[in-house]
Amino acid sequence: MQASVIASTATQARKLSAEEIKEIEHEMQLYPDKQAVGLEALKIVQKYQGWVSDESLLGISKLLDIPVSDLESVATFFNLVYRQPVGRNVILFCNSVSCWIMGSESMRSHINGKLDIDFGGTTENGDFTFLPVPCLGDCDHAPVMMVGDDLHRNLTEEKIDEIFSEYKSKE
Amino acid sequence: MVTKPLTKNIDMSRPPLDIAAYEASDGYQSVKAIADGLTPDNVMQIVKDSGLKGRGGAGFPTGLKWSFVPRGDSAPKQKYFVVNADEMEPGTFKDRLLMEGDPHLLIEGMIIGAYTIQASTAYIFLRGEYKVSEKALKNAIAEAYERGYLGKNIQGTGFDLDIILHTSAGRYICGEETALLNALEGKRANPRAKPPFPQVSGLWGKPTIVNNVETICNLPGILTYGVDWYHGLTKGNDHGTKLFGISGKVKTPGCWELPLGLPIRQLIEEYGGGMRDGLELRAFLPGGGSTDFMLPEHLDLKLDYDEIAKAGSRLATGTMILLDNETCPVGMVGNLMKFFSHESCGFCTPCRDGLPWVDEIFNEFESGCGTDKDLQILHEHVEYLGPGRTFCALAPGATAPLGSGLKYFADDFDRHIKEKRCPYRH
């Protein structure tokens, strides 16, 4: 997946919420310096906001007193930190070797056809974002994918249809 | 007698044992032995005598690794013990089983390791995607604090230990121990130059041991049941049991704890159930995505570190990926190259520029546009990205399936060029 260039015009830091600050401060007790909390802070903000906006990045930078460039170099490095808005449910689709052998490509086509998005895309209604992820470490149940925090194993087209309808009915 | 020390408490049809049930199954006996007077030097000697080798992929002797950490009065007061739980090697699913199935075993092992090097803080560097492991470990850590196995003055030993669970956000390179340390420090996870080695200057510049989950899970058994028992588990040159896994088109893929030294054929046929009906085994990667392909003619070799090395590959993680005769070998190697290309940290040029080039060439082969010149470029990259040419082991890892794939599947590459299509596509 190509990371798109982010031309930020953000100058205002977002004021982090009380919950976000509380959780970030808890993490600060676990590490000897503030830089080490950077990734945790990004994940905490993402948990509440769905993604990490430029304004949030500035907000974290201010709270932790670390340069925004340092924070950005971490944010752009990790697969699971989203610097663009994502759907309500993120599909992490394993595209590594065992799943590939077990037919993940045709599962990918099925999802593509069903949701009308391919890797990197978000459905128009904002329900799902479809992302590839390196080996999910569940190769004896290949092909697999995660939707949100849940792991779905031994995927078939029927199973995928069921999974998506469940997430729809949850909302 | 216990024959499966790693998985004896694991039953994935129920939640993992709670601390009381774990204690009842000989759990935390090693902490009691420490309380009864076992010194760090004693533990170090026992682990050295056990012959335990690292289970993360490199197979380095654990006791020897620990012995590089400065000890005595002149050693730095702050040291760290770190668990590498960033399982992300393609085709590898063994540490997940241990963490989801018996989290207390890992915690007990961490206490042993941290005590030996006298580290008062330990981190578990866990893959962000492993949500079930995260929950299991969180519960187990809380229980261990409650029972006085963690915290201050553990069981009256005078030894303090805090365990902190760090969940990462997904990058394969974090499994490289110095990149992992950078990630823990909150930096971009590029690997560091060695020396200095982490054992001397690791996390925040302090002496640090990084061990794989499965390696650490071997420790409670060694301390509880003894070195002779440990040596008795196997008949080969390497000691102890190992988790072996099979993925691909076999009848019953899975992960099992077995003695080291079993013939490969037995693993695939007896445990994996053999290939699915109508399929034949074409080749296999013996220990994850960064090992060299092996062939059916190697099936009678034993699953231990030395014997697999003699066949030009590595036992590495012990989780095999099987290629059948109806799956395209060029496509399989191409899939692995896409992975390595995506997961390159971008720090050194051969890896950052070479792997995407290799990946692009495989796309050409896939779409029927591959040429003899492309094939030559792939061969050159086996050398350009090989050991000694790059900053860390990521790109050399990629050359293992690439080089062996080019050698064993030469006919398939040729057919892609001549037929201008993937011959396995119908």
Rounded average pLDDT per 10-residue block, chain B, 426 residues: 96 97 98 96 97 90 97 92 97 97 98 98 97 98 98 96 96 96 96 96 98 98 97 87 97 96 95 98 97 97 91 94 98 98 96 98 97 98 96 96 98 98 91
**Does B271 contact chain A (CB < 8 Å)?**
no
Helix/strand/coil (H/E/C) assignment for every residue in A133-158? ECCCCCHHHCCCEEECCEEECCCCHH
For residue A32, give the nearest of B90, B204, B345 by CB distance.
B204
Find, among A4, A60, A50, the residue nearest to B186 by Cα: A60
pLDDT of residue A8: 60
* Domain final residue, candidates B324, B346, B378: B324
Q: Where are the beta strands (DSSP E) in B147-304?
A: 162-167, 208-212, 241-247, 254-259, 281-285
Residue B383, domain member (yes or no): yes
**In what side-by-side order are the strands of the sheet with A150-152?**
A128-133, A89-94, A145-147, A150-152
* Angstroms from B291 CA to nearest CA on chain A: 13
Peptide bond into B76 cis (omega under 30): no
Residue B225: phi and psi, rounded to 5, are -105, -10
* Domain final residue, candidates B324, B358, B378: B324
Please tell me whether residue B167 adopts helix, strand or coil conformation. strand
Collect all residues of chain B within an 8 Å Cβ-Cβ radius of residue A1. 342
Residue B381: phi and psi, rounded to 5, are -70, -25
Q: Give the pLDDT band of residue A145 (cuts 50, 70, 90).
A: very high
Cβ neighbors of A150 (< 8 A, separation 6 or more) are: B131
Listed in order, the ranges of chain A carrying CATH 3.40.30.10 are: 89-170
Same domain, B25 and B171: yes
Helix (H) or strand (E) holding B329: helix B329-343
pLDDT reading at A171 higher than 60:
no
> CATH no. for residue B263?
3.10.20.600
**Structural domain that includes position B345:** 329-419
Tell me whether residue A123 is exposed, middle or buried, using C-beta atoms within 10 angstroms of its C-beta: 0 to 12, 13 to 18, 19 or more.
Answer: middle
Please tell me whether residue B169 adopts helix, strand or coil conformation. coil
Same domain, B211 and B279: no
Find the closest chain A residue to B92 by CA distance.
A137
Same domain, B296 and B155: no
Find, among B104, B87, B60, the residue nearest to B319 by Cα: B87
Provide the H-helix boundaries in B25-128. 29-35, 40-50, 62-67, 95-101, 103-117
> CATH no. for residue B28?
3.40.50.11540
How far the first Cα of chain A sits from its last, in Å, is 29
**Does B187 contact chain A (CB < 8 Å)?**
yes
Per the CB < 8 Å rule, is B245 touching A73?
A: no
**Complex ipTM value:** 0.96
**Does B331 contact chain A (CB < 8 Å)?**
yes
Spatial contact of B287 and B250, defined as CB atoms under 8 Å apart: no
Collect all residues of chain B within an 8 Å Cβ-Cβ radius of residue A38. 186
Mean of pLDDT over chain A: 93
Provide the H-helix boundaries in B102-156. 103-117, 131-146
Q: How much is the pTM?
A: 0.95
Residue B1, domain member (yes or no): no
Same domain, B120 and B219: yes
CA–CA dist B32, B41 (Å, integer): 16
Residue range A3-17, pLDDT digits in tens: 455 556 677 899 999
User: How many A×B Cβ pairs under 8 Å?
Assistant: 138
Specify the CATH number of the domain A89-170. 3.40.30.10
Q: Which residues pair with B294 in a beta bridge?
A: B284
Find, among A23, A9, A20, the residue nearest to A53 by Cα: A9
* Strands A150-152 and A145-147, bridge-based pairing: antiparallel
Helix, strand, coil shares, percent, chain A, to 5: 45, 10, 45
pLDDT of residue A12: 87
Please give the tally of structural domains in chain B.
3
**Does B132 contact chain A (CB < 8 Å)?**
yes
Tokens 């830091």 belong to which residue?
Answer: A13
Residue B424, domain member (yes or no): no
Collect all residues of chain B within an 8 Å Cβ-Cβ radius of residue A139. 91-93, 245, 247, 253, 319, 321
Q: Give the pLDDT band of residue A1 (cuts 50, 70, 90).
A: very low
Same domain, B351 and B412: yes
CA–CA dist B30, B217 (Å, integer): 12
Chain B interface, best mutation among A86, A139, A147, by max B CB count within 10 A: A139
CA–CA dist B184, B179 (Å, integer): 9
* Strands A128-133 and A150-152, bridge-based pairing: unpaired
Find the closest chain B residue to A99 by CA distance.
B248
Task: Take residue B281 and report the two structure tokens written for it.
Answer: 């085994």
Same domain, B199 and B313: no
* Domain final residue, candidates B232, B257, B288: B232
Same domain, B139 and B170: yes
CB atoms within 10 A of CB A145: 27
Using CA atoms, how far residue B74 sits from B35, B70, B357, in Å, is 25, 8, 50
> CATH no. for residue B415?
1.20.1440.230
> Which CATH homologous superfamily contains domain A1-85?
NADH-quinone oxidoreductase subunit E (1.10.10.1590)
Using CA atoms, how far residue A96 sits from A71, A138, B29, B289, in Å, is 29, 11, 40, 9
Spatial contact of B394 and B351, defined as CB atoms under 8 Å apart: yes
Residue B283, domain member (yes or no): yes
* Cα dihedral: A117, A123, A127, A128 (round 10): 30
Using CA atoms, how far residue A121 sits from A91, A171, B43, B241, B352, in Å, is 10, 20, 53, 44, 25
What crossing angle do the helices spanning A54-64 and A68-75 adopt, rounded to 10°?
Answer: 120
Using CA atoms, how far residue B338 sits from A14, B289, B357, B423, in Å, is 37, 11, 10, 20
Same domain, B56 and B158: yes
Find the closest chain A residue to B346 by CA distance.
A77
For residue A137, give the nearest of B92, B185, B332 by CB distance.
B92
